[in-house]
Each structure stands twice: as C-alpha cells, then as structure tokens.
Structure 1
Amino acid sequence: MENLKDKVAVVFAASGEIAGAVVRSFSQHGAKVYVTARNLDAVKALAQDLTTNGGCAEAAKVDALNETQIDNFLKKVVADNGKLDIVFNGIAVDYSEMGGRPAATEATFEQFMAPMKKIVGSQFLTSRVAAKYMIQSKSAGTIIHLTAAASRSKIPNLSGFSAASAAVEGMTRVMAAEWGGEGIKVTCICSGAIMETRRISGWIDSAAKQYGIPVEQLVAQYKAFDILKTSPTLKHIGETAAFIASEAGVAFNSHIVDVDCGKLNVL
C-alpha cells in the first residue's frame, strides 16, 4: 500500500535505529523522504539503500539542535517541492551523556538537564521551524515526536530522561492546540523498549554490570510486564508512524500513541 504517495517527508536524526525504521516505512508507503543527521555517511547509505529498492530519498547533513541549519534545510525542501507534509525527529540521548544512570542524589545538574536540552530542545526546534513552513506553504502537514515509556514509568536512576520524556508529551499537546487551526497535526509516538536496538541491549548490559545480575534476569523482569507475548519491534514503530502521517491517521492528533504491545507497568 502507498498510504503516503506524493507526500514529502523529512526525518531528523535519521542515523538512529528507530528513525531509520520510520524512514523505511515512509519510503515503502510512497513518500519522498529526506534523511538528515550529523553523520552524513550514515544517512547517505540509508538514502542509497532506499533508492536501490525503488524509493525516492535524499540525504543531507543537518544538526537537529542547530536552528539555523534546520531552517535553511526546510526552506530548501519547501522551495524544491512547494510543500512539507511530514516531519519526524528521532533524536535520542546516550546514557553516557547523563553520566550513566546516577541516582538523583548523585547526578549533577548538567547530567539531569542533558536529556532535556537534547531531546526536548531538538523536538522544539524542528517542530517550530517545520510548522512555520507548513503554515507558509499551506501544507496542512503532520509533525511526529518521539518519546519513551519512561515518561509514565517508575524506573530508578532516570530522573532526567523521564522528565524529558514527559516534557515531550506535554509539548506535543500544546503544539497540536496551537497549530491545529492551520490544519497541522502534532502527534507523539511513545516507544516501549525495543529489544533489537543497540540502545536497549546496551542499557541491559550496563545495568546488569551495575547491579551484578545476569542479563537474562533483567530481560525476564522487563518482559514480565508484557500484556501480550508479542514484543514491539522497529517495524511496528515505522508502520505506526506511516499510519499516523497518512490520511487515515487524522484521528490521532495531540495524542501519545504507545507502541509497546501493552505494558502492565505503564500508565
């Protein structure tokens, strides 16, 4: 199915695994996709793979925390296409940027604020610039944020990351209210832990070493909260994003869409 045929999509921080899955789904559903990241080689390889498989993709180096670069790039996209239909930002923060997983009593203010500055700051910048160009070009497009289940979970030693995740969700609702009159949808995908990603496998390995328990035990503890036997995958996230961005996804606006197959420990 080509739910996004003739749509123009821009994906920021596209070198990440989740963003890469979203890019592939957008392309498979017929969108022309611009893939951007600070790592130009990574997004060039992704764009080449998409075009080799019949998609339409272009790569560019854009820092999703640099408003000037974001603005210049989206201005060019609109100039070349006359519109901007979809924007997704897959930016994430590494545990190393937070100093690992320190307790709130031990984390420095800078470590606490690192996820807020990077995750919330980047989503704010890409969204506000995208909305400006969507309004100017009368695109009535879709902006999709990314957050994590930590926003509504009770996980020790993740105060900064949990606060940033919740902030993205709050910002989604406000932006949807501000720009809805222009026909712009703003929705947020809330990802559960995707076991196939390097980020989650790395976190599990790190936590196992920190607490001195087997990796298998940590995985079992997490999966004990699954409502279904099925766990979320990268493809699930990509297909969810493509649906939200499609005409059929118009019912999802201002919502936080959980992609976790159901978890007993997430509100």
Structure 2
Amino acid sequence: MKKLENKIALITGSTSGIGAAIARKFSEQGATVIVCGRSAEAGNAVADTLQRDGGKATCFAADIADEGQVKDLVDAVISRFGQIDILVNNAGPNGNNIAIGPIHDLPTEQFDANIRIGVYGLFWVNKYVLPHMMKNGGSIIHTSSLTAVRALPKFSAYAVSKAAMEAISRQIANDYAEFGIRSNTLLVGTVRPTSDETSALPENLDLGSLDDVIRGTTMMGRLGSYTDVAEAALFFASDESRYITGATLPVDGGASAKLQYPDYTRHGL
C-alpha cells in the first residue's frame, strides 16, 4: 500500500519549485493532491501533469495574502473532498517578490508585502484548516528556510517570515496534539531544480556562478534538489513520523551544523 493512500493533501505554493515537487511526490504515494497558487494556469498545468502520470490532483487558485481567498479556498476543498489530512504550508515570498535590501533602506511596503504572505498568509491557512483537521487528526508540514536561523545579507523580510513559520509550527504542535494533529518544519538550505523540475528562484539569479561557494558551506559538498525536500516532506506526511511533532528537520546538506570558518588544516594547523 502506498504511504499516503486515501489522504487529501492541500499544498500551498505548489505551482512551481519545491511545492510542485512535493505535489508530485505525494501524488506518487497515493494522495489526492490539491495544487494551490495564485496562477490557475500554472496550477492546472501541474495538476494535469500529475493526472497524466496516473495521480489524483486538482487545482484551486488562491492568493494566501488575502484572508477572504484563503477562507474560500478551504471551504471549497472541504465542500468537494470532505476533509484535509495533510497540509503543506509552502507558499511564501519567492522569486522576484522577495524583498531584498538592508533594513535601513528597505521600503516598508516591500517588507509588509513579504510579511503579509509569509506570516499573515501562513496564519490564515492554518486558522481555516485546523477546525476541519481537528475532527480526524492530520499532519501539517511547514517549509521554512535556513535563513530562519542563519543570517543572509539583506534578506531580513524573508528571514523574519521563515522564523515566524518555525514558531507557529511549534505552537500548533503544542496546542493541537490532543486532536491527533502533528506539526513539523523543514529547514531548507540552498536548493536548485533538476532538469525536470520548475524553478521558483529569481529570474536574474545565476546559481551556476555560486555553485562552488555554496557547496563549500555544506558538509555534503553539493546543492540540494527540490526532490530532496519532497522526500523529507513525505516522511513528515506519512505514518513513519507518527511520534514526531514540534520538530525542525534541516534539509541543507549539513550547512546549519557546519561552522563557516576556513579549513585551518590547509594553513598548517
């Protein structure tokens, strides 16, 4: 039997990138996948691909920065499927929408836009899904970032939103354990798409020129892939993690555990 057979999985931010990879992985394991993003066209493309590959998927377009749209999204999913067993909170600032700049020079409206998606949007999705999940239990997975615990120059808005994601995940784990709900976080390092994965990175970002530098920050000597993250999400979604909640799992090749100092053994130590 597949790991997610007969499960209903709502995945926000799943029209591209990590979210689309998670949607594919869950579909392969038997879940009925609700692809969610702002673009109905992109979401339908992902859902259609999953269906052609033998999976069960549909798209519900919504902008999670709008509370009304979030409520309507959850109502529509419940009306059609009756339940939500798995929630993946993957939507957030991405691509060219990430506010980048030093704090003193960052326009308030850009910071606010990122927080509205990454914090308020996250709150609203959980707020409207939880009452339904309380009936039968379930698993909530949050895709956070290494920036939640390690400073990345000029990424303050993004870092704040991802740190908030970790905090709310722990709070849900504590407050809803009695209802059979688990909540866990993936701490994602630098990842890049493989040849068959769609990117959610900024269009002007050339990771090729940064590969050697980034590899040096990990213990495993390589960048991660979207599939690496999807496999970790599958673990938290399945019964294999049934006694794990309130946890944060780094998916970063060891970057968060490595002291970023020079290798002194190369300097005579």
Q: How far apart are the structure 1 equivalents of 2:203 and 2:167?
A: 28
Cα contact 2:95–2:202 (8 A) shared by 1: no
8 Å contact 1:13–1:91 — kept in the other structure? yes
Alignment of 1:151-190 (within 5 A): 151-190=148-187
> Take 1:34 and 1:98, find their aligned partners in 2: how far apart are those partners?
25
Matches within 5 A, 1:90-101: 90-94=90-94, 96-99=96-99, 101=100
More helix, by proportion: 1
Change (3 A) 1:229 1:222: closer
Q: Does 1:247 align with 2:239?
A: yes
Structure 1 residue 227 corresponds to structure 2 residue 219: yes
- CA change 1:164–1:17 in 2 (3 A) is same
- What is the deviation of 1:95? 6.0
Change (3 A) 1:96 1:73: closer
Q: Which region of structure 1 is more displaced relative to structure 2, 237-246 or 66-75?
A: 66-75
Structure 1 residue 200: Cα displacement: 4.4
1:9-28 equivalent positions in 2, closer than 5 A: 9-28=9-28
Within the candidate set 129, 142, 147, 2:144 is matched to 147
Aligned AA (1:111): Q
How far does residue 31 in structure 1 lie from its aligned partner after superposition?
0.4
Residue pair 2:94, 2:202 contacting (<8 A) in 1 also:
no
In the aligned structure 2, how far is the partner of 1:222 from the partner of 1:62? 34
8 Å Cα contact 1:98/1:114 also seen in 2: no
Q: What is the aligned partner in structure 2 of residue 8 from structure 1?
A: 8
- Aligned match of 2:252: 260
- Pick which of 17-26 and 186-195 moved more: 186-195
SS at match of 2:192: coil
d(CA) in 1 for partners of 2:200, 2:59: 24
Aligned to 1:36: 36
Partner of 1:127: 126
Q: Conserved in 2, the CA contact under 8 Å of 1:32 and 1:56? A: yes
Residue type of the alignment partner of 2:150: S
> What residue identity is the alignment partner of 1:9?
A
**1:237 and 2:232 equivalent?**
no
Q: 8 Å contact 2:214–2:223 — kept in the other structure?
A: no
Cα contact 2:96–2:201 (8 A) shared by 1: no
| Unaligned segments of structure 2, at least 5 residues | 261-269
Q: Quote the offset at 1:97 in angstroms.
A: 3.8
* TM-score, with structure 2 as normaliser: 0.86
SS of the counterpart of 1:251? coil
Cα distance in 2 for residues equivalent to 1:245 and 1:28: 13
Shift of 1:98: 4.9
Deviation at 1:114, TM superposition (A): 3.0
SS at match of 1:173: helix
1:193 lines up with 2:190 in the alignment: yes
- Corresponding residue for 1:70? 70
Find the aligned partners of 1:55 and 1:27 in 2 and give their Cα distance.
Answer: 5
Deviation at 1:145, TM superposition (A): 1.3
TM-score normalised by L of structure 1: 0.87
> How much has 1:32 moved relative to structure 2?
0.8
What secondary structure is seen at the aligned counterpart in 2 of 1:48? Answer: helix
Alpha-carbon separation, structure 2, partners of 1:64 and 1:124? 10
Instruction: Give the superposition deviation at 1:259.
Output: 1.0
CA gap 1:97/1:24 in 2 versus in 1, 3 angstroms:
closer
> Residue 92 of structure 1 aligns to a residue in which SS?
coil
How many residues are aligned here? 254
| Counterpart residue type for residue 4 of structure 1 | L
